[in-house]
Amino acid sequence: MKKIIVMIETPSLNKKQHAELLSQKLGYKYFSMEDVINEEIKNKTKIGLIMEKYSSSNILAPDEYSIMLMKDAIINLKENGIVFDGFPQSVAQAKSLDSFLFSRKTNKPIPILFDSEQVVVSSNEYKNMAMHESVVSLFDSKMELVADYYDATAIKINTSNKSVDQTIEEITKWL
């Protein structure tokens, strides 16, 4: 049965690098919500045009668009599994993922919850990434709720004083 892994952490902890390396090590598909949305925008698809309006207005897009992209990724999955980076970003998205997997008779996702004593990215750096401070605050609070949603079943990894390779090695021991 194919495994679905969701990486949960704030953008400050190298999640993208962790997710990419983990997917390579496991032979899973790497799914970056940010990359997929940028591709949709670039290709001027219907979802891309909608997402572009939200991103240019510094407003988080409604969950339904991210959920549609997630479903497409799982339906078209040819690899043994998938590592989601940037999904889910809300409890509604997490619940939709669980429901969708249940409807496909697939196991629940494996949440990997990162923790660290270090904070690498400040909210000023977020703003430099074209995100308005209120959007950053909303995003952070939504991610805390997602972490709480998965808390009981998550593989918890502390990344303090560890290299990315050490972190990936620790994750694979849990899988």
For residue 55, the domain's CATH number is 3.40.50.300
Range of the domain at 47: 3-174
State how many domains the chain has.
1
Of all residues in the chain, what percent carry a pLDDT higher than 90? 47
Beta-strand relationship, 155-158 and 29-32: unpaired
pLDDT for 84 beyond 90 = yes
Please check whether residue 123 is in contact with residue 8, taking contact to mean a CB–CB distance below 8 angstroms: no
Q: Please report which confidence band the pLDDT of residue 6 belongs to, taking 50, 70 and 90 as the band edges.
A: very high
pTM of the model: 0.80
Q: Please report which confidence band the pLDDT of residue 140 belongs to, taking 50, 70 and 90 as the band edges.
A: low
Please check whether residue 9 is in contact with residue 111, taking contact to mean a CB–CB distance below 8 angstroms: no
Amino acid 130 reads A
